[in-house]
């Protein structure tokens, strides 16, 4: 058998990302003009995955299947798109068993962007020889995610979901009497896992194990022992699962935090990523880096595209506009004298002349004068 294969979980509805996912599946939502799933597949390619990569779809399945029919930039990978309806994350892996013909396999989520050194994690999994390993990442607000307790050998002793101080103290006392612990209160599960092939038999025999975090990992930790990879915490990782973190992720990719994964582009000039052709710049119009530009962009005069902005394909921006730290999808018309900052504009939107969009505005797809899907996102972030 080849050494590694992979399962990419790409079936979520993307309810946290609405209105961005109103008429597009979450894996195809573009980050810096490239679908999120592309970043995931590039990660697997760089890690040298040579076995099958099963992409598990459900919501808007046909759109994802059509995307891979129309694009061949992953033709070097052995991608399969099974057609079944998983009940949850672990059930998706259970029903994918026929596609896993390797001793070990990776499971990853399609809505994260990361440059994790995946080969190092895979080597860790094989060295520990456990049935499962989980990638971990430190975060600034650990109480929002919970606590993972490891021993000195990186074995996971306990999952605590958003513990109160009394729970944490009790758990620490309990385990410290048994073995030396390494308490990690700022680590979260990043959604990338490594498994031995044997786990498929466990999932088949215990069909009530549906969710990895709630069901599978607590069971495996108790019965078999699983490991947490916290040896390298400096890698970039972002869950682009809501409009706020989605905007963050676009900025981060533009400023190369996800290196070596970049915006969709055929070339790059002074931190401006260009797809095929740099747009013409009329009198007084400037584009400030970092930025990503799609195809067939038309810009009016005296317009400024400020840094941390992404412009998609077939976008027309009128005279005297100012676009700052915003993400504009395809087929958008922005009339003259429009200002926007920290804004997301989805496909097929018309922004009328003179519009002043407040920071954090998110405009859903296919805006017309009598219908709009719009929301505001948290204003506590900056692009710096």
Statement: residue 378 has pLDDT above 50: no
260 assigned to some structural domain: no
pLDDT in tens, 242-294: 888 899 999 999 999 999 999 999 998 889 999 888 888 999 999 999 999 99
250 assigned to some structural domain: no
Q: Are residues 283 and 328 in the same domain?
A: yes
Rounded mean pLDDT, 218-245: 86
Statement: residue 380 has pLDDT above 50: no
Report the 10 Å Cβ neighbour count for 187: 24
255 assigned to some structural domain: no
Report how far residue 220's alpha carbon sits from residue 199's, in angstroms, rounded to the nearest whole number. 9
Q: Are residues 166 and 285 in the same domain?
A: no
288 Cβ contact list (under 8 Å, min separation 6):
304, 305, 306, 307
Cis peptide before 290 (omega within 30 of 0): yes
Contact 368, 382 (CB under 8 A): no
Q: Are residues 121 and 150 in the same domain?
A: no
CATH code of the domain covering residue 124? 3.90.550.10
Annotate 68-136 with DSSP letters as a single string. Answer: HHH--TTTTS-EE------SSHHHHHHTTGGG--SSEEEEEETTEEE---HHHHHHHHHHHT-SEEEEE
Number of structural domains the chain divides into = 3
Q: In what helix (H) or strand (E) does residue 221 lie, and over which residues does it extend?
A: helix 217-223
145 assigned to some structural domain: yes
- DSSP, collapsed to helix, strand or coil, labels residue 148 as strand
Q: Are residues 82 and 177 in the same domain?
A: no
- Of 186, 122, 183, whose CA–CA distance to 151 is shortest? 183
Q: In what helix (H) or strand (E) does residue 245 lie, and over which residues does it extend?
A: helix 243-254
Q: Are residues 99 and 225 in the same domain?
A: yes
373 Cβ contact list (under 8 Å, min separation 6):
18, 19, 22, 363, 364, 365, 367
pLDDT of residue 312: 95
Judged by average pLDDT, the poorest of 44-53, 167-176, 234-243, 269-278 is 167-176
pLDDT of residue 188: 76
Q: In what order do the strands lie in the sheet with 350-351?
A: 298-299, 316-317, 333-334, 350-351
pLDDT of residue 146: 52
Q: Are residues 343 and 317 in the same domain?
A: yes
pLDDT of residue 182: 53
383 assigned to some structural domain: no
116 assigned to some structural domain: yes
Judged by average pLDDT, the poorest of 32-46, 91-105, 369-383 is 369-383
The residue ranking higher by pLDDT, 380 or 220, is 220
Q: Are residues 61 and 159 in the same domain?
A: no
Q: Are residues 80 and 160 in the same domain?
A: no
> Treating both helix axes as pointing N-terminal to C-terminal, what angle do 118-128 and 36-46 enclose, rounded to 10 degrees?
60
Q: Are residues 229 and 114 in the same domain?
A: yes
The residue range of the domain holding 177 is 140-185
pLDDT in tens, 265-275: 999 888 999 98
Scored b (16 or more CB within 10 A) or e, 346-374 reads bbbbbbeeebebebbbbbbbbbeeeeebe
Q: Are residues 299 and 325 in the same domain?
A: yes
Q: Are residues 78 and 208 in the same domain?
A: yes
23 Cβ contact list (under 8 Å, min separation 6):
347, 365, 366
- pLDDT interval class at 140 (50, 70, 90): low
Name residue, tokens 């050998």. 153
What's the start-to-end Cα distance of the chain, in Å? 47
290 assigned to some structural domain: yes
pLDDT in tens, 66-101: 999 898 889 899 998 988 887 888 888 888 888 998
Q: Are residues 95 and 212 in the same domain?
A: yes
pLDDT of residue 379: 42
259 assigned to some structural domain: no
């Amino acid at each position: 058998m080849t050494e590694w294969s992979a399962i990419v979980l790409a079936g979520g509805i993307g309810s946290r990302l609405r209105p961005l996912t109103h008429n597009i599946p979450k894996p195809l939502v573009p980050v810096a003009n490239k679908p999120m799933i592309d970043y995931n597949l590039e990660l697997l390619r760089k890690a040298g995955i040579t076995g099958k990569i099963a992409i598990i779809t459900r919501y808007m399945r046909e759109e994802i299947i059509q995307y891979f029919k129309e694009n061949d930039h992953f033709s070097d990978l052995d991608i399969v798109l099974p057609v079944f309806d998983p009940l949850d994350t672990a059930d998706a892996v259970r029903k994918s068993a026929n596609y896993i013909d390797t001793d070990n396999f990776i499971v990853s989520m399609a809505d994260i962007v990361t440059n994790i050194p995946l080969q190092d994690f895979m080597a860790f999994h094989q060295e520990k020889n456990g049935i499962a390993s989980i990638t971990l990442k430190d975060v600034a607000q650990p109480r929002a995610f919970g606590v993972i307790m490891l021993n000195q050998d990186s074995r996971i002793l306990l999952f605590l979901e958003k513990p109160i101080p009394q729970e944490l103290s009790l758990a620490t006392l309990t385990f410290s009497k048994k073995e030396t612990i390494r308490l990690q209160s700022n680590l979260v599960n990043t959604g990338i896992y490594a498994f031995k092939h044997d786990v498929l038999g466990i999932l088949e025999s215990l069909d009530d194990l549906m969710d990895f975090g709630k069901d599978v990992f607590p069971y495996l930790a108790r019965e078999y022992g699983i490991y947490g990879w916290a040896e390298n915490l400096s890698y970039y990782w972002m869950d682009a699962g809501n409009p706020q973190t989605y905007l963050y992720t676009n900025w981060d990719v533009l400023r190369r935090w996800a290196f070596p994964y970049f915006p969709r582009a055929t070339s790059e000039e002074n931190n401006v990523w260009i797809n095929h052709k740099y747009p013409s710049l009329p009198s007084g119009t400037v584009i400030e880096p970092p930025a990503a530009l799609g195809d067939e962009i038309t810009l009016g005069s005296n317009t400024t595209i400020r840094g941390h902005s992404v412009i998609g394909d077939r976008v027309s921006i009128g005279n005297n506009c100012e676009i700052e730290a915003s993400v504009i999808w395809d087929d958008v018309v922005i009339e003259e004298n429009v200002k926007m900052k920290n804004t997301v504009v989805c496909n097929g939107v018309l922004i009328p002349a003179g519009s002043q969009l407040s920071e954090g505005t998110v405009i859903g797809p296919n805006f017309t004068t009598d219908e709009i899907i719009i929301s505001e996102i948290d204003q506590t972030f900056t692009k710096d």
